[in-house]
Amino acid sequence: MLTNIVRGGQKVILRLEDILNKIFSSEQNILYYHGAMPNFFMWMLFLSGLLLFAYYTPTLEAAYQSVEYITKKLPYGDVIRGIHRYAADAMYLTVILHAIRVYFTDRYREYRIIAWYSGIALSIFMLVIGISGYILVWDQRSLTIVNKFAEFLAALPFIGETLSHGFINGDVISNYTMSMSFFLHTGTSFALLILLWVHYMRISRPVVNVTWAIGSLLAGMVLVVAGALPALSGEEANFNAMLPSIPLEQVDWFYLWLFPLIDTVGNYGAWAALILGLVVVTLLPNFVKSEDSEPASVNKDSCVGCRLCSIDCPYEAIYMAPRNDGSKYKELAVVINDRCAECGLCVGACNFDAIELPTYRSTEVMDDIRIALLQD
């Protein structure tokens, strides 16, 4: 059942990509940059964020006004703010696309497990960045977010109070709360970079950059939206007229969906949903039965240490070890078994039949070719 849905999804994706290939060529097919697109938006966010950072003041009194200053007085400040807002939405949207594609094309388990788990962590980090970002504006929505999020954290048994206290950064909302949100926003952004390094750890030559054409298109789209729907603040935060919930038209559905969820099912319900969701995505790789692994293996006597296999291996599963076993060659290819995808790229790269997939050796492939052709 699950397998059929996944296979169906893969067919839809492949058909769509085929159409885009025919229109734009595979080089310029945006769907082939599903990992590079969030990366591109992330750099847009760092750049626009740097400019906002220069004029932003994280205090209760000044935060709102500093954002107003950026938006209304600073030349192009409104554009920069709009870019920051919509690049953030675009980043989440493309991350979702990316996650869907790796899931439906079955590229998320076994030797890719680090990328999957770190991807889950990345999406949680992005939520933290988004929620804290909406606090920094310090309008009525920000105040509601702080209150509701503090209550939400406090609802967790045992550690809830501590977390909530840490988030407010004291007993009541104060300048320290603003510092905390500012820290959560910028600190988590940098932590995202470290996590991305983990995300790419097992991937040789990850495709992290879009082409110029695609980059211009994506940046242009963000600019158009930023121009058409300027990112504006609401009323300044007012402790005497606190909103019980975020009005639905003010919800950013990529980053703030947690708040309508809390309004609907309560704090405990939202925690339950969140934890359940997390458990399901974490266990997704375990729902599929893995086949027995039969990693590539190297024949010591034939390997001349030319390195071609270790260069071509797409999952960094081969390293070159110095050899001192009396061979006239200096290095030997060594396969790290649990990183091996059993793809055979190393076999295609080796001119000495020195590295082989035990399930289908290159000599067997050649025999099969001859047999097929010489049979009749």
Partner 1 sequence: MAEDVINAEETEDKKPKSKDEVRVAVIACERSVNLEGELNQTKLNGVDNCDVIQVPCSGMIQPRMIESAFKAGADGVIAMGCQIGDCHFREGNKFCRERLLGLRPPMIKKTVPKNRLQGYWMSEVQVEEFKARIEEFKIHVADELLNEAAEG
Among partner 1, ligand SF4, ligand HEM, none, what does residue 340 contact (CB within 5–8 Å per kind)?
ligand SF4
Of 240 and 290, which has the nearer Cβ to ligand SF4?
290
Interacting stretch for partner 1, rule CB under 8 A, among 48-56, 90-98, 114-122, 343-351?
Answer: 343-351
Among partner 1, ligand HEM, ligand SF4, none, what does residue 318 contact (CB within 5–8 Å per kind)?
ligand SF4
Q: Does 203 bind partner 1 (CB under 8 A)?
A: yes
Residues contacting residue 191 through CB under 8 Å, at least 6 positions apart: 125
Of 15 and 307, which has the nearer Cβ to ligand SF4?
307
Tokens linked to 255: 């980053």
In whole angstroms, what is the distance from residue 109 CA to residue 116 CA? Answer: 7
| Whether the Cβ atoms of residue 302 and residue 122 lie closer than 8 Å to each other | no
Of 16 and 242, which has the nearer Cβ to partner 1?
16
Among ligand HEM, partner 1, ligand SF4, none, what does residue 127 contact (CB within 5–8 Å per kind)?
none
Residues contacting residue 308 through CB under 8 Å, at least 6 positions apart: 349, 350, 351
Stated as kind and residue range, the H or E segment containing 321 is strand 318-322
Q: Residues interacting with ligand SF4, by CB under 6 A?
A: 295-296, 298, 303-309, 313, 315, 317-318, 333, 335, 340-346, 349-350, 352, 354-355
Query: Least CB distance from residue 150 to ligand SF4, whole Å?
Result: 47
In whole angstroms, what is the distance from residue 253 CA to residue 246 CA? Answer: 12
Number of neighbours of residue 267 by Cβ within 10 angstroms: 17
Number of neighbours of residue 197 by Cβ within 10 angstroms: 10
Tokens linked to 269: 């319900």
In whole angstroms, what is the distance from residue 302 CA to residue 323 CA? Answer: 13
Query: Least CB distance from residue 338 to ligand HEM, whole Å?
Result: 15
Among partner 1, ligand HEM, ligand SF4, none, what does residue 375 contact (CB within 5–8 Å per kind)?
partner 1
Query: Least CB distance from residue 44 to ligand HEM, whole Å?
Result: 12
Among ligand HEM, partner 1, ligand SF4, none, what does residue 303 contact (CB within 5–8 Å per kind)?
ligand SF4
Of 99 and 340, which has the nearer Cβ to ligand SF4?
340
Among positive and negative, which fits the CA dihedral 193, 199, 205, 207?
Answer: negative
> What is the x/- site pattern for partner 1, positions 104-143, by CB under 8 A?
-xxx------------------------------------
Among positive and negative, which fits the CA dihedral 136, 142, 147, 148?
Answer: negative
Amino acid at 292: D
In whole angstroms, what is the distance from residue 157 CA to residue 224 CA? Answer: 45
Among 26, 65, 209, 238, binds partner 1 (CB under 8 A): 26
Among 314, 323, 331, 336, binds partner 1 (CB under 8 A): 314
| Whether the Cβ atoms of residue 185 and residue 132 lie closer than 8 Å to each other | yes
In whole angstroms, what is the distance from residue 42 CA to residue 122 CA? Answer: 12
Closest CA to 125 of 39, 180, 45, 192: 192
Query: Least CB distance from residue 18 to partner 1, whole Å?
Result: 6
Tokens linked to 343: 């793809």
Among 3, 8, 11, 230, binds partner 1 (CB under 8 A): 11
Query: Least CB distance from residue 32 to ligand SF4, whole Å?
Result: 21
Positions in the binding site for partner 1 (CB under 8 A): 10-11, 14-15, 17-18, 21, 26-27, 29, 32, 105-107, 203-205, 308, 312, 314-315, 341-345, 347-351, 357, 360, 362, 365-375
